[in-house]
Structure 1
Amino acid sequence: MASRTTRSRGATARRRLGAGIGTMAVLVAGATAPMAAATESPERDLGTAADYGVDVPTAGGLEDATVTSPTGRWFVELAAAPTTQGGSKAALDRAERSFKAEAAGKGVSVEVRQSFRSVWNGVSAEIADEDVVTVEGLPSVRAVYPVLRIQAPEPQAATSPDLATALAMSGADAAQSELGFTGEGVKVGIIDTGVDLDHPDLGGSGTDDTTAFPSDVIVAGYDFVGDSYNADPSSDAYQPVPQPDGNPDDCQGHGTHVAGIVGARPAAEGGALGVAPDVQLGAYRVFGCDGSTESDIMVAAMERALADGMDVVNQSIGAAFQTWPGYPTAVASDNLVDAGVVMVASIGNSGASGTWSAGAPGVGEDVIGVASFDNTHVKAQMLEVDGVEFPFMPASSAPEPPTTGTEDLVSAGAPSSAQAQSCNANPVASSVAAGKAVLIQRGACTFYEKALNAQKAGATAVVLYNNVPGLFSATVAGAEPITIPVVGVSRDHGVQMVNATADGATLAWTDRVGTAVNPTGGLISSFSSYGMTADLQLKPDLGAPGGNIWSTYPLEKGAYSTLSGTSMSAPHVAGAVALLLEARPGTEAHTVRDLLQNHSDPAAWSLNSGIGLADSVHRQGAGMIDIDDTILSTTSVLPGKLSLGESQGGPVERTLTLTNAAETDVTYATSFDDGISTHRNPDAPSYAWAESVVDMPASVTVPAGGSVDVTVSIAPGSGLNLAQYGGWLFFTPEEGAALSVPFAGFAGDYQALELFGDLGDLPLPAMGVLLGCDRFIGADCVAGGEYDLAPTGHSYTMADGDIPQVILHMEHPAQRLTIEVIETVQGKKGAVEKVATLVHDEPYVGRDSAGISVRVWDGRVPTTNGKSTRAVGDGVYQLRVTALSPMGDPANPDHVEVWTSPEFRVDRTD
């Protein structure tokens, strides 16, 4: 390919950057029935995201930017190893003292906030952005990473099914009732918002603030932050100073819900029953009552959980789009596994943003990163059309639907027609809708636009029906309030209602609530994030029920609630791990994930489940866990997954080891199946399927008590290029269930993917100017503010945030991002020279979702002796931004993208 040294772009005119145009990663899935032969087939085009009603996120405005370190703090990794990796606390103490002394010798101010010794080696500290390059060069320092802000997990829209239906999906009900395992003797740590210590289903008294801590159920824990802590600078309640105490009680709710999924035991009829109801819990609170936390606090919680003797740790939190396993929270999680603790983490809720949207710590190499599947049943309100009942979901930001009364029902148009969607180009007419409830199909525009058009046409209510299988929860928030009820029904029910309107139909509102089969039950949840990791490791690893899960909630908030998210699927797996550890004491922490993957079940493609294709491996991993089969199994295949890397060098060979602990020989027939391969093409998001080329023995016999190695060769199917692909290898015995091993890789030259992307029709990278800011951390605007493109030759005053802003849209992750300032200097003999000085060095950069990220330069450069920094003089400068492709060679120009800014001026007012 051609050199990737890219264009030098500058804005020739001032342009306000508000809401932009989003881009989306794309997906591809494969067949659900195992393929018998390894024959090559061409790529099958499955259309675009829009063809399946996928709501592509629009770009966040340029005010939605991330900056150099969004918290003003940095992880400083020291050269000495943590204790879990054979290091000593004394050596780390010495290393930290050396680091502080070295920093002081260079004139760098360092304020240490957290010191880490067991699961990570280093500190988190407040360091000025301009000093980070100097810190990276200190002898005691291995690397520097920004401390990220982590939003409190936001549950997805949910209905109210029974937790029992979720337990049945994973076999947890059978493990409890038929095999007799309840997690007894296993300790599970919950790193979250805390746990309601008084909840009776979690061993509490049932009365607020009357339960002693620790209790028989919640045996350990700590509050790292305090009630008022809130690390979100855009919040009026911003309070970033932790105020720890010994009581990890939950005032937010999320952690109590998570804890109940793991180990609730009903204190009375109607209470919640968790996956492992006899576990003991550790509660590690890293959030205040509202707002965000920061990633160094998560690492501190991991160290405490290890010290408290937890066997399993669940983290239903993470940093979206941080797909690098080298980020400190992921590395610390891996080190916990090395110390014998099974680490389970949610993979993230950014599925609408497409591929490479998973987050740390779920992307950790040894972490069990968990996807979400929708529950099989939902509880929903019911309406009637001509006497036939239909379940519905009320839309948020609209009036509550009535529970009595009738009204005429009409259709905006025939299904799939432009009129049926009632967007601005074809709004429903008042002659159709006035005085009636109107049926409108999902798709082509926002729910709000549809509801507003119906409201303006005089409709009394709106019944939205899906354009893909399943019920859904709409939101109709907008500038002009929606004043009529809006509800959502499934696609099939909506079409049935449309047909009824041909002869005139009547809608009757009822007060009835029923349990309905969820059409998307057992399929990947729409919000569940995609992998792989930035270094092409297969993620997520497997999945569990996470869509529409009813569980415990703080007493003062109603005691029970239904939430959705990978936050709910991760604790389901953590509870399943507790059942497995009780059934098989001494199982090595690194082996637990392999065993679960061997018995997980791949699911059909969630966007079109009826065409016989399986969802993407990098969306569901091994599939839905099957804990009772895992416990009963006497055979295994290791490793439990295959990460194949890029296919540019041809087929990839891997060795699998089949082990048989039974008393008789077992013969396996081999086969494979493909999942959807995904292209990330911002101009034409598309789905495709192509059969992989797999070469392995047709059968394998494993002797009793023995093991056999099997060599497998895998290549992507014909026609796939610059796409994530994958599938499952199956080993099926003459009797019993098949063992499976998921595989995933990248078809083509991974380093050919574009790193610097445009944002819709806006060419980026570009220089920007900050128009206003409500709050700064150092030179970085962290609340409020709006950005414009800077005109060529723009002058920055270097005061009140008017400093050079580099505006980027990272289309893909980068292994490293550096910025050099190019300064025009006068040479010794009068010649003008250009001198480049490194001012920013950022490893492990995630991709941007649908918006931008901003890096700033405060006008300072290191001094020639490297001991401090100096402010540059007024004059003309440029910035050179360099991005290294994931797994790339910095010496290979094809693996590097470079953007050099237009010239700009530094012109200080003082």
Structure 2
Amino acid sequence: MKLAPLAVIVSAAVATALSGAPLSHAATTASVNATQISIAQDETPKRWFVELSGPATTQGVTPGAVKNEQAAFRRAAKAAGINFKERFEYQTLWNGFSIEASFADAGKLRAVPGVKNVYPVVDVQAPPRPDPGSKGDVEAAISLTGVDIARSELGLTGEGVKVAIIDTGIDYDHPDLGGDFGPGFKVAYGFDFVGDDYDARFPETSTPAPDDDPDDCNGHGTHVAGIVGAKAAEPDGVTGVAPEVTLGAYRVFGCEGSSSADVIIAALERAYLDGMDVVNQSLGAAYQWPQYPTAVVGDRLVELGVSVIASAGNSGAFGTFSGGAPGIGRDVIGVASYDNAATLSPFFEAGGQNVAYGVMSFSAPAPMSGTEEYVFIGRACDADGDLLADPAGKTALAVRGGCNFAEKAQNAVDASATAVVIYNSSAPLFSGTLGGDPGHDVPVVSISGTDGLFLRGLDSAEITWQEGSARFPNPTGGLISGFSSWGLSPDLELKPDLGAPGGAIFATYPLEFGGYATLSGTSMSAPHVAGAVAMLLEAKPDTPASHIRDILQNTAEPKVWSGNPLSGFLGPVARQGAGMIDIVAAVEGTVRVSPGKLSLGESEAGTHPVSLTVYNSGADDVTLDLEAETAVIGVTRSIPSGPPDNPGATGIGYFLGGSGVAFEAESVTVPAGGSATVNATVFTAPGQDELYGGYITLSGGDTMLRVPYAGYLGDYQLINPLSEDVFDQIVPGRDLVPGLARPTATGWTIYFEGATFTMENEDFPYLLFNVGHHVERLEFQVLDAGTEAPVHPVFSTYFAIDYLGRSSTRQTFFAVPWDGTREHSVGNGDLFKIVPNGDYKMAIRALKANGDPSNPDHWEIWTSPTITIARPEEPKKKTINLRGKGR
């Protein structure tokens, strides 16, 4: 008797081929062979970059030569029957297109003559909304980086420097941002590439509708622009880092939703043509390679003399190697975030002390006056039963945890509380939300865990509400922000490069949304650096763009480990790079060290010789002592494997040491106007899977310079990108991902023993897989089912993609359909061939990051169950027109 294939029914939409989408488990079905899994949304890429092999016009060729190459591509693709729709063509900084195409058609484009590579066009997530409650203290933020001194004592304001803001536009009507748009105003340049209704997430809103007005109806770009260069028009206004810069507003977001990488490249080309000196990109797509087009274009701008600053990313909770493009670019300055040193918060008084609070989203406003008793009611969750005290006519004090804030508040309100104060289960102040209209007008506010315990310890249990705001020190001020992304880059370059304040930053916001707001993110730290670069260029206008990062890294100050600040240990280099920038030291210094960072790559324990060149532009010889500083190291080798309700739960271990530095000499003397070489050896102790790092220091007199170093200790190619399956607990002994699947009306059927496909009406086999670590090359190879040998000794590949970033979590998968074709020779005009009916298998071949293609151990290979192709009629032709007709 022939048994039916064992199958698992997966209720899921197609997952992204870029970053995945989280799965959530539903109830297991009655059948032992099936279960239900649902997925949040369909994010299968429909847009792609096509990179041509020739250079762009800024690389020394004429516009005509680029146009001719692009025309030749169009002809060849049309002759091959590949169906796609062009969105943008690029000639200035990058030679190629962005297109709309199916997964299958995009894969075929790789075989077209003149095509260098094909990349998915990633969506760039929507910017964050303002933090409720506390607002960042502007003066505290600029004091962390020396901007206050650079302005007051050095007279630097960024005058004469043009800074491009690639973002949501700028509300140029804001008085702190000049009050109008065009020549002679602060916002003198700009363009709207997308229109108000643009949202890259949905087909019906993903077509750009450009115009000449880069006004901001979102808010993020206005906030970023304010950090770079606002100039307070009134005493209570905001002054940014470099208040005399000229701004360019290049709008790539609609009023709501996401943008996409192809729009961003179009904006970068326009910014270059407008003569911008500095480009700020407070945006990015996580888990990318430096080879991703937005990163490559950023690097090209630096080659052309433009400083490019970009956010490192806000994926810190999602483990190491989570940096995004363009910040991951080799020459781009990727910026980490530190928390602001102080905040301005509404407050109440208790026990002679001011207590900062934040009003929760959807809460009624907090009172501005009045004294009330308060009682501690416990967690106030339904599951806890009765409240610990009766809050009738009083303020209810509850502790965070056990249930959501709305449930706590409702239980207090039901007991006739007049206000609800929820304190954190850990030290800092936090922002909270009731999730929607609570149906009552009782104010609900959040306070820090420290203040909550203080209130519980008071004998006189009264609070007095106050009007206005007060300044409060931030307990995490000056420490790396919890959201700030980890490096290294997937090819083990040291990223991020450096950091600046980005947690709780108060700046301009569109007038229609209140004029000012507090936001947090590396989106806020990048413009701080962009403004500092403008100051540096004002002070030293001849500084090459290629030197600016070195100077900022040399003079930056690494901060202590946020996991235990009192220990005094420096935080991981793979999290903060060179450290917090110091613009005064950068401007006043006359000594520079190159390279500004050392990327030591992959190694086993042992010694690693390094060499630095020290340049002295001053009038006197300089002698510098050579030493090293140790930083905490992070130990991890894959994505955190948190539960489905918290997939980003970190799995990083922290240790001290792991490396040190021995110098050829104890000091170096650098002649005036000359240079000298420092030779040293970095040594690493035995370990495995460590992102080690530290700092080489050069100090003497008033000079303190640092060069961060970082590397991966262990066998990097032992990280398998495909094999871990977090779904195997659903069907014991069976892996769901990677898997062979068929889409259904509600999701997927996954086959363990093989399946038959007609290849009609989109009845194609799909390969589902998770990418646990960045893949240098991913290939789908067609095999004979009987022999498991390639169907052709040379041309057996169906689809391939280079430099695929990792998934965000283990609870995600990608989906690739096979249309029954394989690539073929480009020499006889037949780019693709249809395989005949029969039994096949598909091998997913993943070349591991930094792998050697000739080394079999550097490939991970998964082979599918048998795929039986049973078309109703055998194709009469062996080649294919991807519009559905053979030829």
Bucket of the pairwise TM-score, normalised by the shorter protein: 0.7 to 0.9
Match runs of 1:772-811 below 5 Å? 772=745, 786=747, 789-790=750-751, 792-793=753-754, 803-811=764-772
Equivalent residue for 1:497? 455
Change in Cα spacing, 1:752 to 1:399, as seen in structure 2 (3 Å) is farther
- 5+ residue gaps, structure 1, are 1-9, 25-56, 205-210, 413-420, 773-784, 826-830
Native 8 Å contact 1:130 1:860 kept in 2: no
Task: Find out whether 1:240 has 2:203 as its counterpart.
Answer: no
**Residue from 352, 364, 383 that aligns with 2:348:** 383
**Residue 469 of structure 1: CA displacement?**
3.8
Residues 182, 277 of structure 1: 8 Å contact kept: yes
In structure 2, the gaps of 5 or more residues are: 26-36, 642-650, 874-887
Cα distance 1:709–1:428, how it changes in 2: closer, same or farther (>3 A)? farther
- Residue 863 of structure 1: how far off its partner (Å): 7.3
- Give 1:512 deviation, angstroms: 4.7
What's 1:151 paired with? 125
Amino acid at match of 1:662: G
Find 2:696's aligned residue among 729, 744, 748.
729
Partner of 1:614, secondary structure, is: coil
- Is 1:856 the counterpart of 2:832? The answer is no
Partner residue, 2:626: 670
**2:384 corresponding residue in structure 1:** 427
Question: Does the aligned pair in 2 maintain the 1:410–1:505 contact within 8 Å?
Answer: no
Farther-moved stretch of structure 1 (487-496 vs 75-84): 487-496
Contact kept? 2:130, 2:518, Cα under 8 Å: no
1:221 maps to a residue whose letter is G
AA matched with 2:570: A
**Residue of structure 2 equivalent to 1:52:** none
Find the aligned partners of 1:385 and 1:100 in 2 and give their Cα distance. 72
- Cα deviation, residue 724, structure 1: 1.0
Contact 1:363-1:539 within 8 A present in 2 as well? yes
1:612 matched to 2:568? yes
TM-superposed deviation, 1:232: 1.4
Q: Which residue of 2 aligns with 1:123?
A: 97
Please tell me whether residue 451 in structure 1 is matched to residue 451 in structure 2.
no
- Give the deviation of 1:326 after TM superposition: 0.2
**1:106 is aligned with what amino acid?**
A
Give deviations 1:732-771, integer Å, cap 9, x for gaps.
11x2141011111111111111312323646432334545
For each residue in 1:432-486, what CA deviation from the matched residue of structure 2 results, as whole angstroms up to 9, or x when unmatched?
466575655556x565598379659958465443454422213453999899654
Change (3 A) 1:715 1:810: farther
Q: Does 1:588 align with 2:544?
A: yes
1:317 to 283, 286, 307: 283
More off after superposition, 553-562 vs 361-370: 553-562
Q: How far apart are 1:11 and its partner, in Å?
A: 6.9
- With normalisation by structure 1, the TM-score equals 0.83
Measured on the aligned residues, the alpha-carbon RMSD in Å equals 3.3
**Residue 748 and residue 587 in structure 1: after superposition, are their counterparts in 2 closer, same or farther (change >3 A)?**
same
Work out the number of aligned pairs and report it. Answer: 823
User: How far, CA to CA, are the matches of 2:97 and 2:194 in structure 1?
Assistant: 18
1:373-522 counterparts in 2 under 5 A? 373-403=338-368, 404=370, 406-410=372-376, 412=378, 427=384, 429-432=386-389, 435=392, 439-442=397-400, 447-448=404-405, 451=408, 460=417, 463-477=421-435, 485-500=443-458, 505-522=461-478
CA–CA distance in structure 2, aligned partners of residues 848 and 365 of structure 1: 22
Residues 18 and 98 from structure 1, CA distance in 2 versus in 1: closer, same or farther, beyond 3 angstroms? closer
Match of 2:719 among 753, 759, 770: 753
Cα distance, 1:808 vs structure 2: 2.5
- Maintained 8 Å contact 1:107/1:868: no
- Which residue does 1:350 correspond to in 2? 315
- Aligned partners of 1:19, 1:614: CA distance in 2, in Å? 43
Q: Which moved more, 1:590-599 or 1:264-273?
A: 264-273
Letter in 1 for 2:453: V
Give the distance between the partners of 2:325 and 2:823, measured in 1 at CA: 36
Q: Does 1:880 align with 2:847?
A: no
Identify the range of structure 1 (169-178 vs 834-843) with the bigger mean alpha-carbon deviation: 834-843
Contact 2:376–2:398 (CA<8 Å) still a contact in 1?
A: no
Partner of 2:68: 94
Q: CA deviation at 1:600?
A: 0.8
Deviation at 1:363, TM superposition (A): 0.5
> Bigger CA drift: 269-278 or 692-701?
692-701
Q: Paired residue for 2:644?
A: none
CA spacing shift, 1:855–1:79, aligned 2, 3 Å: same
Counterpart of 1:305 in structure 2 is 271
Secondary structure of 1:174's match?
helix
Matches within 5 A, 1:61-80: 63-64=39-40, 70=45, 72-80=46-54
Residues 607 and 681, structure 2, Cα contact 8 Å, conserved in 1? yes
Alpha-carbon shift at residue 628 of structure 1 (Å) = 1.1
Mark the CA change 1:709 to 1:449 in structure 2 (over 3 Å): closer, same or farther.
farther
| Cα 1:434/1:555, change in 2 over 3 Å | closer
Q: Does the alignment pair 1:840 with 2:799?
A: yes
Which range moved further: 837-846 or 428-437? 428-437
**Equivalent residue for 2:487, pick from 511, 521, 531:** 531
Question: Structure 2: which amino acid aligns with 1:73?
Answer: R
- For 1:607, give the aligned amino acid: G
Distance in 1, Cα, partners of 2:182 & 2:195: 16
User: CA distance change for structure 1 residues 900 and 129 in 2, over 3 Å: closer, same or farther?
Assistant: same
* Larger RCO: 1 or 2 (CA < 8 Å, sep 6+): 1
1:903 equivalent to 2:866? Answer yes
Distance, in Å, in 2 between the alignment partners of 1:638 and 1:601 is 17
| SS in structure 2 of the partner of residue 314 of structure 1 | strand
> Hey, what's the Cα distance between the residues in 2 that align with 1:433 and 1:847?
51
**Corresponding residue of 1:45:** none
> Which deviates the most, 297-306 or 895-904?
895-904
Change (3 A) 1:869 1:661: closer
Aligned residue in 1 for 2:171: 196
CA change 1:677–1:438 in 2 (3 A) is farther
Write the distance in 1 (CA, Å) between the matches of 2:323 and 2:11: 31
Aligned to 2:708: 742
Moved more, 481-490 or 542-551: 481-490
Partner residue of 1:162 out of 137, 142, 149: 137
Q: 1:627 is matched with which residue?
A: 583
Q: SS of the residue aligned with 1:180? A: coil
Query: How far does residue 97 in structure 1 lie from its aligned partner after superposition?
Result: 1.6
Aligned residues of 1:370 and 1:569 also touching (Cα < 8 A): yes
Answer yes or no: is the 8 Å Cα contact 2:374–2:391 preserved in 1: no
Deviates more, 1:454-463 or 1:181-190: 454-463
Aligned to 2:780: 819
Distance 1:250 1:18, change over 3 A: closer
Asked if structure 2 preserves the Cα contact closer than 8 Å seen for 1:409 and 1:507, the reply is no
> Alpha carbons of 1:870 and 1:469: their partners in 2 closer, same or farther (altered >3 Å)?
same
SS of the counterpart of 1:241?
Answer: coil
Contact 2:689–2:713 under 8 Å retained in 1: yes
Contact 1:727 1:743 in 2 (8 A): yes
Letter in 1 for 2:769: L
> 1:593 touches 1:640 (CA, 8 Å); kept in 2?
yes
Give the corresponding residue for 1:701.
669
Looking at structure 2, the residues matched to 437 and 808 of structure 1 have their Cα atoms a distance apart, in angstroms, of 52
Shift of 1:702: 1.8
Provide closer, same or farther for how the CA distance between residues 11 and 294 of structure 1 changes in structure 2, counting only shifts above 3 A.
Answer: farther
Q: Is the Cα–Cα contact under 8 Å of residues 781 and 790 in structure 2 kept in the other structure?
A: no
| Residue identity matched to 2:319 | G
